[in-house]
Amino acid sequence: MIESAAPAKLTRNEGLKQASPTLAGTIAQTLTNPALDRFSDDDYEFLKFHGIYQQDDRDKRKVAKEYIFMVRGRLPGGVVSPDHYLVFDQLASTYGNNTLRITSRQGFQFHGVVKSGLGPLMKGINEALATTLAACGDVNRNVMAPPTPAMDSVVEHVQADARRVSDALLPQTPAYHQIWVEGQTLNLDDAAAKDFVDPLYGKVYLPRKFKAAFAIPPLNDVDVFTNCLGFVAIIERGELLGYNLLVGGGLGMSHGNIQTYPRLADVIGFLPPKHLIKVAQAVLTVHRDFGDRTNRKHARLKYVLEEKGVAWFRGELRERLGFDLEPARPFEFTRQGDLFGWHQQADGRHFLGLYVEAGRVKDTETIRLKSALRQITTEYRLEIRLTPSQNLLLINVPSSAREGINAILAENGITLNHQASLIRQTSMACPSMPTCGLGLAESERALPDILNRVEQELAAAGIPDEEIIVRITGCPNGCARSMMSEIGFVGRAPNKYQLYLGGNQSSTRLNRLYKESVKLEDIDAELRTLFTRFAKERTSAERFGDFCNRVVLPELEASHSVAPAANPA
């Protein structure tokens, strides 16, 4: 008799979701218990679905663990109304560390929240008709969309579609509202709670997180190929015809685990706008049904696409939709990044792009950005849009308001003529130390020093005005999308980074590993060698990432020191 193999064991998270499908856990009970300064390890996983990460201040660990919370707002397309912004500003001052941090997915994060302030903060967000639901967890995260007002109406159309997709992919659990708005404790033994099944996600939600984004060529400001689900707008003569569907991107990996890797999404086909929601939900359910629930490091949709193939995926999508997508339409991305300073909108009004170092909206002794934004928003009632590169835009500004806004910014130490160098304008960093429990090396706090080194070595090589996209993450999860940059630093250990090279300006090519471990103090020497060669050997107008992809990385490939390029778009 041949015994069949035992079914693979599901991960701990799958058991937790199965036992508490409303995602309530015992959050409400712990929230009202003043004797506890933290939530249980089980509730830590449920909190993520509510947009909350339980952390501790790692700078203080030698004395004692001081538990704090990061709370992430869900803001589709990075759109922040003036009312929302003023509430967020006040809540950050009252319950957080008096900063707001722009995420790489166009949301706001509150940092440094202690448990006693968590309930009031969450209630304040929801009373302002905003939410944190599904900003984290095994669900669809914040939907990204181009934030910059254009010379026609397409951007606003795409923004509206992003909100539609965001709403359609939102989990329906009643626990979020009952805990954070009504202050109720759910009875986990209640049959309705135990038997709750989300109409889209099912009882156990997704195997891992799911990310969606919209892009409008030729600007790839959202890094659309890095998402599980991407929609590329196809426009003819100013009219939105529909979207090319992209599926299977993602950047996270684990050091030393070759079964984990960054991957660019595949182009699947074209769809008219009327099918947008149905297609988005169908792609999500493929992840729900085929994602690996036995290994969270192998649970992203990108591994389903890599292992089963695009043809299989198209067939699976056909079964769920009842029709085939049309062949993909031609498109081309040429650049990424933000616009800074004043620009005119199609309707004659203006928008202002403001540089925010590492996305941290705060006041310092010399630059009082948080105070300036509060005053501007109070006086002029402007909509704010957060960019995928962690900067922000003030939009719909009448001509009559420009002088007053300039004066407020100047009074708070903010100059518009030269907000930041080219290197800094295109840079990104994740928070990492001291709040993120996954951080292996400094990121946000190391960013200014590392960018100084980059600029110094460029000047020494005789190319001081070169634009190079530099991104830093404190671990290999890739939250600042360092694997898509021309120079990427990925935390390996304290003061040690992997060095990646070879991304491109259009964010359509993964970079590749150049050095496995570089000490912080050795970065200068590594860059000096590279920049010296670049200045001497580049072709006319060649960017640094393209030079590395053409010259430096092939040399390493020839010596078997670097892996060949992954699936380039």
Is 164 part of the annotated catalytic residue set? no
> Which residue in this structure is represented by tokens 């830590």?
44
Instruction: Render the burial of 340-354: b for 16+ CB within 10 Å, e for the rest.
Output: beebebeeeebbbbb
The phi and psi torsions of 113 (rounded to 5 degrees) equal -80, 130
Is 211 part of the annotated catalytic residue set? yes
Q: Which among 48, 74, 141, 360 is annotated as catalytic? A: 141
Q: Which among 136, 228, 475, 548 is annotated as catalytic? A: 475
Nearest-CA neighbor of 225 among 287, 148, 149, 144?
144
Is 453 part of the annotated catalytic residue set? no
CB 490 within 8 Å of CB 482? yes
Q: Which among 48, 72, 293, 492 is annotated as catalytic? A: 72
Helices and strands, counts by H and E, the chain: 18, 19
Length of the chain: 569
Is 436 part of the annotated catalytic residue set? yes
User: In angstroms, rounded to a whole number, what is the distance separating the alpha carbons of residues 223 and 227?
Assistant: 8
Nearest-CA neighbor of 532 among 547, 517, 549, 510?
547
Query: Based on the number of CB atoms within 10 Å of its own CB, is 9 exposed (0-12), middle (13-18) or buried (19 or more)?
Result: exposed
Q: Which among 136, 228, 479, 548 is annotated as catalytic? A: 479
By DSSP bridging, strand 239-247 and strand 350-354 are: unpaired
Which runs of E-coded beta strand occur in 98-198? 100-102, 108-113
Task: Enter the tokens of residue 508.
Answer: 């359509």
Is 209 part of the annotated catalytic residue set? yes
Q: Which among 17, 288, 300, 430 is annotated as catalytic? A: 430
State in Å, rounded, how far the first CA of the chain is from the last one. 50
Q: Which among 208, 293, 385, 436 is annotated as catalytic? A: 436
User: In angstroms, rounded to a whole number, what is the distance separating the alpha carbons of residues 363 and 497?
Assistant: 30
Beta bridge partner(s), residue 393: 353, 385
Residue 383 exposure: Cα atoms within 13 Å on the Cβ side: 15
3-class state of residue 144 by DSSP:
strand
Q: Which among 48, 209, 263, 481 is annotated as catalytic? A: 209
Q: Which among 48, 211, 263, 509 is annotated as catalytic? A: 211
Is 141 part of the annotated catalytic residue set? yes
The phi and psi torsions of 511 (rounded to 5 degrees) equal -80, 180
Sequence-separated (6 or more) residues with CB below 8 Å from residue 496? 441, 517, 518, 519, 520
- Amino acid type, 391: N
Catalytic positions are: 72, 141, 209, 211, 430, 436, 475, 479
